[in-house]
Amino acid sequence: MREDCEQQFAAAARLDEVPAGSVKAVTLNGRSVLLCNSNARIFAIINRCSHADEKLECGKMKSGWIACPAHGARFDLATGQAKNPPAKQPIEVFAVRIVGDLIEVEIWKQKEELLF
């Protein structure tokens, strides 16, 4: 829980923009987030590998994981945990909710920002 921040959800894409087995990179709150449709579920992960900061959007995705295209580390889409080297650190994952035909992703904003 981030006490100086407040959780909000932001519209990221329409459901039909991320068909089964595909990914879509979007920018949310100034950060590149990758929407992933795998195992009949939408996931949202940071679009950056924890090993050497490569983008994950061109990586192979299968059965709830995505592989970094640079050196092959795989990450669990639900938890962000690295499944094999060379990555050791997890990647950030975000809560997702579906509202009508929209995919919404959690974002965190400084509480002061919400006042303006």
Of the listed pieces 8-16, 38-46, 47-55, 94-102, which binds ligand FES according to CB under 6 A?
47-55
* Adjacent-strand bridge partners of 36: 23, 43
In the set 14, 31, 62, 71, which binds ligand FES (CB under 6 A)?
A: 71
DSSP reduced 3-state for 112: helix
Q: CB count, 10 Å around CB of 78?
A: 14
Closest CB to ligand FES among 13 and 91?
91
Looking at this protein, which amino acid is placed at residue 97?
A: R
Which of residues 64 and 86 has its CB atom nearest to ligand FES in the complex?
A: 86
73: contact with ligand FES by CB under 6 A: yes
DSSP state of 90: P
Tell me: does residue 49 bind ligand FES (CB under 6 A).
yes
Q: In the complex, what is the shortest distance from the CB of residue 54 to ligand FES, in angstroms, rounded to a whole number?
A: 4
The most distant pair of C-alpha atoms in the chain lies apart, rounded to whole Å, by 44
Binder of ligand FES out of 11, 52, 58, 98 (CB under 6 A)? 52
CB 37 within 8 A of CB 22: yes
